[in-house]
Amino acid sequence: MPKGGPRPGAGGKPGYQKRRSATTAAQIASDGKELPMHVMIRNMRIAVTRQQTATGECLKLIKDFLAGTLEEKDPDKLLDTFRAALFNEANWMKLSQDFANDAAKFFHAQLQSIEMNIHDDRIEEKSEDELLADLNLKAKDVTPGVLSQLVEDFSKQKVEADAPDPE
């Protein structure tokens, strides 16, 4: 028997986790109960509604203060009232963001990281004009319009940068 390395038939079978997840989701859905994502979305909507209400209360407090129609005249109590209203609004906003973040995992694919090696030693051996010529040839092969225009713009900038100062 070989030591180490992959062995035939070893490890989990392809698609097993997907089958298991699909089976579990089907069982939960068939129970007639809500799925976790539905609970999260409902909680997020409740938190957003309460945050909007708290924002309205803050705005009303500011409007009444500026209009001079507040019953409370003690500055310390006004400050405490306003601080409590702001805290309430911020708390509901944070909760709604947390619920949205949790629910997003059910609806949006997560990007996977990939390794990309774009180092080319040959670039260091070429002059700037040779690189520009190579880029121009490749640009015409890929997209005749946009990329060629970018290369021409780069060439003009290079010529302008290389031009002697008129002073």
Per-residue pLDDT of the chain (167 residues), as tens digits, is: 556 677 777 776 666 556 666 676 677 667 777 777 788 888 889 999 999 998 998 888 888 888 888 887 788 888 888 899 889 899 999 998 998 888 888 777 777 777 666 665 565 677 778 777 777 776 666 655 665 666 676 677 666 666 666 65
Rounded distance, CA 28 to CA 21, Å?
A: 11
**Cβ(82)–Cβ(70) under 8 Å?**
no
CB 85 within 8 A of CB 127: no
The three-state secondary structure class of 166 is coil
Q: Domain ranges in the chain? A: 33-107, 123-162
For residues 92 and 94, what is the distance between their CA atoms, to the nearest angstrom? 5
